[in-house]
Structure 1
Amino acid sequence: MTRITGLPRQIRRDLNWQRQALCVEADPEIFFPVGSNDTSEADERRAKDVCEVCEVRARCFQWAVNHRIPEGIWGGFTARERRELADRLKNRR
């Protein structure tokens, strides 16, 4: 298990959920597919499969939206999917 040290207590608390994420055991490359070819599409699917069964998926997604993470798959969504979903949710208010 990765220890989060050297950061202020509040930030450590905010990131504590990452210790429970299944992606820490997966190849990090699949969460940052490059381009739009068969390999990148396969990586995206593999990453989303990991996220699908992860117990902190919702928290991961929310963290990425709140921090406007511009790339990668977080909580089972690509950056474009996160932006689109966040915009739809914002427009419903």
Structure 2
Amino acid sequence: MFKKICMAVVSLGLLLSLSFISTDVATAKAKYYQNCTELNKDYAGGVAKSSTTKNKGGKTRYKPYASKSLYETNKNKDRDKDGIACER
């Protein structure tokens, strides 16, 4: 009986701690960059909306970093509207 109660308490504690961790990550604000030069210092290939987004322009030198929240924050820098901001 004592083992079952301990297991229930430990399980509940783990679930609660995981819910706080995921909430913190979800509420983390994506950084806004003033221009592509600033963005490319941190992300050489630019920022893609998802990992499956394909570049519609020419050949690029670097692979873009995939992050929906970061892309949404900086999507005004996606001139050709292909889902990748500041690609190089």
TM range, smaller chain: under 0.3
Would you tell me which structure has more helix in proportion to its own residues?
1
Give the structure-2-normalised TM-score: 0.22
Larger Rg: 2
Give the structure-1-normalised TM-score: 0.21
Q: Which has the higher contact order (CA 8 A, sep 6+)?
A: 2
